[in-house]
Structure 1
Amino acid sequence: MDDDGHPVPPRWHAPQPADAILRTARAVLRAVATLTGETDLAGAARDLTSAESALRGAEHLVLQRLGHGEGTAAAQLAAALPQVGTTLTAIRDLRLEARAATLTGVQHALGRLRSVTSLRDLTTQIPVEINRLGYRRALLSRVSGPQWSARAAFAHDDPQLARDLVEVGSSLPGQIGRELPETEVVRKRLPVLVEDAQHTPRVHHRLINLARTKDYVVAPLVGRGEVVGLLHADQHAERPSVDDFDQRLLGLFAEGVGCVFERVVFLEQLGALRSRLQEQTRSVGDLIDGFLGSDVLAAPVAPADPLSRLEGPLAELTRRELDVLRLLVRGRTNTEIAAELFVSPGTVKTHVKHVLRKLGVANRAEATSRYHALIRR
């Protein structure tokens, strides 16, 4: 990490065994050139890939000359042939070893990504991890509908290029159906190798020209059953170009990133749900605190009984007779009054007689009229 907490990518240096093998290859090629009279074969060995190609040419040349030579020259050529073969085998072994180490690097890269807990950090870290796998430049794009637009990039020793790639790739998004490599990746959900990108039609030429890309690999980032992003990589740190191995490698890495993406999305959704629940809990708590702090739960004040404040005939009625009068005024029958007061109909009949007598009325209708007249006073 740097002082700002950002991951610092490794600086790429060819391992010492590769340097030693390259020196051996050049020495063998110079020896073959001397024996065959050819011009400097070693000059074509700029790196391991070109050295391998030059050694194969030298091997073919030696076999050709052996078919026509004899004597000391033939013996010298025959002695050079095993040296060519041994050096070719060393290059192949080193390449296999490097590829095996790269596959292990994919596991380590995915392990680091699994510790990320936010989509924002994951977006930033993915191009860095692609660089750690051995690619000098990487681009992560978001697929939304028919468009794919850049979200994060990494360019070894050229942070300005990384920023420019994101700016161009977001302001001028690619179109599914317009750029054929990305269209094929989205539709088939498989990685694609693009060779000679500068002369390939229907690619994103603004990005290609900006980065001066010769060839690149693009792989799908699949989440929840849909292609949600694209991973681009080019300029391998130890080879002049990317090939079908890089195509398979980036595809494998993209599959793992898809699983990490789903996990991070789940964690963010879970965190958002937890926040909403906590907010709701706080809101309910505030509501209860306010409710308990108010006078809402104070004992209700019973409304004044108008009959309890009256004098005259109503004041002569007993508590039970007042209850019977209230129900009688509401139109209840003796049976209904008995059920409501939990007494017998006979008891109610007796109470009604006492009420009529004390109010000085002859029947229930007069009792009702007398009641209303008395409480309006």
Structure 2
Amino acid sequence: MTDLVGEESGRPCEDHDASVLLVRTEETISAVADLARRDPDATVPAYAVDTLQAAVDRLRVGERYLRRRLAESGGAAGPDAEVLALLVRVQSLRLVISEAQVHRRAAVTAELHRSLTRLRSGLSMPDLLRQIPLELGQLGFSRSLVSDLRGTTWAPRSAFVHYDESLAAALVEVGSAIPGRIGREVPETEMVRARHSVLVRDAQNNPRIHRELISLADTRDYAGAPVVVHGTVVGLLHVDRYDQADAVDSADRDLLGLFADGVGLAFERARYQERFSALKRQFERQITGIDELFYGSGGWNAPAEPADPQQIEQVTHPYLSGGPLGELTRRELEVLRHLAGGATNQDIADRLVVSTGTVKTHVKSVLRKLGAANRAEAAARFHALTRPHPA
């Protein structure tokens, strides 16, 4: 069964401030390139940049050229004012972009703590598989994929694609029909064998990746991390920043690794909860069977505790051996006593340490054996039968 999540959750992937910075970078690099055209010994390419990291890289190239040009122009006439002004502009813009990246990472670190707290809130395994891609969207990734690992085969179970739920469904469908294989795809093999996160550049030209998924998603760069539970890799996480003003980088790879560690702990918690619930159900069935074995064929000869604490405990109850309540098992008598005291099914379940379903079964049996139409009538009969007889 596949669990899909789409565009209704997660934060917008576009960063308008980053888009402005990219435009400013292109304008600045173009100005540097125009200056370099007048220098026969220099070339500064002026091409579009689509990520903040690419912008920083291009600005560094321009800065190196301007520094060299400024050093060469020094002399009696002093530094070239045009070159100096452009150098200040490049340095200032690079600083602004670096600060923007630092602020984004600080915000993401805070969001990471909130995401992991939500995943540790007692979710079941199916709920975790639905929630994990959404949380990765909250961390700023525009697309994410959650896969399980069985033996040497990995296949997607859930996905998130911002503003494209159909692509999320297609990724899971294609990945399930054509699962990946450890030993064939290099990045995933490294994740499983080394148990650490990876960063993949230029995926379109990488022959050792999951070609069908990469082609379908038109993925350029992506990060991946293993999910480890009790020392065993049980799943894989993949993310990218498609159509965003920034590409995944080493910081994103490390962030994903930390998130994957938290997911592993959440999986451990969910599995413990499932096992505990299964053991509790098994214990309840065993207790019910023991009750029926020892008390189902005859009455309970010991008197029940009075529903009202003010009643006299020394009163004898001959009805327990031959009266209407003699048909009840010990557990049914306990349930009836609490019921007569005004307890709800949940109250009774808590007191007897059983499930509400077990209590409902006992209540139905009590009503049938007493010939009572409802809980109120059963309580009234209990009080009437347990009322102390005059000497």
Q: Same fold (TM over 0.5)?
A: yes
Q: Name the counterpart of 2:11.
A: 10
Deviation at 1:242, TM superposition (A): 1.8
SS of equivalent to 2:297: helix
Give TM-score scaled by structure 2 length. Answer: 0.66
Deviation at 1:87, TM superposition (A): 1.5
Alignment of 1:1-377 (within 5 A): 8-14=9-15, 16=17, 18-19=18-19, 21-22=21-22, 24-26=24-26, 28-29=28-29, 31-33=31-33, 35-36=35-36, 44-69=48-73, 71=77, 74-235=80-241, 238-288=244-294, 290-292=296-298
Deviation at 1:160, TM superposition (A): 1.3
Long gaps (5+) in structure 1: 300-377
Higher relative contact order (CA 8 A, sep 6+): 2
SS of equivalent to 2:225: strand
Q: Name the counterpart of 2:375.
A: none
2:36 and 2:173 map into 1 onto residues whose CA distance is: 54
SS of equivalent to 1:219: strand
Deviation per CA, 1:248-269, whole angstroms, max 9, x where unpaired?
1111110111111101111111
Change (3 A) 1:278 1:210: same
Change (3 A) 1:217 1:48: closer
1:226 and 1:40 map into 2 onto residues whose CA distance is: 50
Give TM-score scaled by structure 1 length. Answer: 0.69
Deviation per CA, 1:209-242, whole angstroms, max 9, x where unpaired?
1212112211110001111111111225644532
1:289 and 1:89 map into 2 onto residues whose CA distance is: 81
Does the 8 A contact of 1:22 with 1:48 survive in 2?
yes
Deviation at 1:26, TM superposition (A): 4.8
Aligned residues: 292
1:212 and 1:30 map into 2 onto residues whose CA distance is: 29
Deviation at 1:171, TM superposition (A): 2.3
Deviation per CA, 1:178-233, whole angstroms, max 9, x where unpaired?
22221111111111222222221222112111212112211110001111111111
Which stretch has the larger CA shift, 223-232 or 283-292? 283-292
Change (3 A) 1:57 1:202: closer
Change (3 A) 1:195 1:45: closer
Percent identity of equivalent pairs: 41
1:257 and 1:237 map into 2 onto residues whose CA distance is: 26
Does the 8 A contact of 1:117 with 1:267 survive in 2?
no
1:136 and 1:27 map into 2 onto residues whose CA distance is: 27
Cα RMSD (Å): 3.1
1:19 and 1:206 map into 2 onto residues whose CA distance is: 31
Partner amino acid, structure 1, of 2:48: A
Change (3 A) 1:116 1:155: farther
Deviation per CA, 1:134-188, whole angstroms, max 9, x where unpaired?
1111111111112112111111111111111111222222222222221111111
Does the 8 A contact of 2:14 with 2:245 survive in 1?
no
Partner amino acid, structure 2, of 1:191: S
1:150 and 1:30 map into 2 onto residues whose CA distance is: 43
2:272 and 2:151 map into 1 onto residues whose CA distance is: 22
2:276 and 2:268 map into 1 onto residues whose CA distance is: 12
Change (3 A) 1:208 1:35: closer
Bigger Cα Rg: 1
